[in-house]
Amino acid sequence: MNRSRPGPVRRTAARLLAPILAINLVAVGFGATQPVAAASTGTLSMQFDGYAHGLIALKMAGELSLDKAGYSGRLTMRTAGMINWLSHMDSDSTVRGHFTAAGVDPTQFDSTGTTRGAARAMHILYEAGAPKIVQQEPAVDDARTQVPSSDSAGTIDTLSAIALLVRQVAERGTCDGAVRLFDGRRVTALTAHTAGYETLSLSGKTRFNGRALRCDFDGVRVAGFVKTDDMAQQRRTRHGSAWLAPLVPGAPPVPVKVVFDNKALGQVTLYLTNVTGSPGAVAQNAAGLVR
């Protein structure tokens, strides 16, 4: 038995990161339906618990600050429960950017964390709309195919996608949209479709119950494939759904529930456990969000 190669259980934590970031964070942007001026001011702080097969699997917290000129955001995540005992993973990502007439102009994206006991870091700067990896750890990821510049061109990070899509859907009033995401190691093409309003019931995992807008998502890996994994499986379209509701006055709707399929764990469900908002707090919070 080759013990140097991690099995499916040990890879679970790492595989959780990409779909959670893509589905959950972009859901915030696709779900906003208020005027741009009202939805683009202040700070939103959110906390989530993630479950698989009824057991806690992860803890996640996000913060987004917006004003008319720019935005900043932060997302932290760590495994929890039995998954954490088997394969610990934690991640801390931040972003800073500006709004433009055409959309958003991210200036930098940073991500640090630990996966399978190894430290990982990514520092990306954006030049003329193109992402440039300035520093990464490990310096070379031999386990994954390199992302060509032709595939990363025109992409943005997941946190910038929130700011961009808040403005886009403010004009459309629906969840429908598309975005290409790049985290320094892989590119994912994500599309969203409006499924309509549904009523969610109260449960022991969340305090929210009531009417929420359902958005269905399809994500496809475009580049940055794991060399030892089945290519057809990696290229397979992944599906998910997010339910959004306006819980903070003057702020866009936030995801109260997110469901998606994971290769190792099966169906994973995220529940919003807490959300707070502080209108007009961008000035004092933005500096602390980006290291």
Of the listed ranges 17-21, 120-124, 137-141, 287-291, the one predicted with least confidence: 287-291
pLDDT at position 27 is 42
Whether 275 maps to a domain, the answer reads yes
The answer, yes or no, to whether residue 128 has pLDDT greater than 70, is yes
Domain that holds residue 103: 8-289
The answer, yes or no, to whether residue 28 has pLDDT greater than 70, is no
Whether 55 maps to a domain, the answer reads yes
The answer, yes or no, to whether residue 25 has pLDDT greater than 80, is no
Q: What is the spatial distance between Cα 200 and Cα 198, in angstroms, rounded to a whole number? A: 6
CB-based contacts of 237, cutoff 8 Å, min separation 6:
218, 219, 220
pLDDT at position 140 is 80
Tokens representing residue 237 in the block: 């379209």
Would you place residue 262 in the very low, low, confident or very high pLDDT band (cuts 50, 70, 90)? confident
Q: Which residues pair with 71 in a beta bridge?
A: 66, 97
Whether 39 maps to a domain, the answer reads yes
The answer, yes or no, to whether residue 125 has pLDDT greater than 80, is yes
Would you place residue 164 in the very low, low, confident or very high pLDDT band (cuts 50, 70, 90)? low
End-to-end alpha carbon distance in the chain: 42
Q: Compute how many other C-beta atoms are within 10 angstroms of the C-beta atom of residue 17.
A: 21
Q: What is the spatial distance between Cα 253 and Cα 28, in angstroms, rounded to a whole number? A: 7
Would you place residue 131 in the very low, low, confident or very high pLDDT band (cuts 50, 70, 90)? very high
pLDDT at position 162 is 66
Q: Compute how many other C-beta atoms are within 10 angstroms of the C-beta atom of residue 97.
A: 23
Tokens representing residue 117 in the block: 């006991």
Q: What is the spatial distance between Cα 13 and Cα 265, in angstroms, rounded to a whole number? A: 10
The answer, yes or no, to whether residue 187 has pLDDT greater than 80, is yes
Mean predicted lDDT score pLDDT of the chain? 77
Whether 2 maps to a domain, the answer reads no
Whether 135 maps to a domain, the answer reads yes
Cα dihedral sign, 17-19-20-26 = positive
pTM of the model: 0.78
Count how many Cα atoms sit within 13 Å of the Cα of residue 28 in the half-sphere of its side chain: 31
- Note the pLDDT tens digit of each residue in 54-113: 999 989 998 888 777 788 889 999 999 988 888 888 999 999 998 877 777 899 999 999
The answer, yes or no, to whether residue 3 has pLDDT greater than 50, is no
- Note the pLDDT tens digit of each residue in 199-228: 998 888 887 889 888 888 898 999 999 999
Our count of domains for the chain comes to: 1
Whether 220 maps to a domain, the answer reads yes
Which one, of 36, 86, 102, 89, lies nearest residue 66 by Cα? 36
Whether 24 maps to a domain, the answer reads yes
pLDDT at position 22 is 46
Whether 1 maps to a domain, the answer reads no
C-alpha 3: how far from chain center: 32
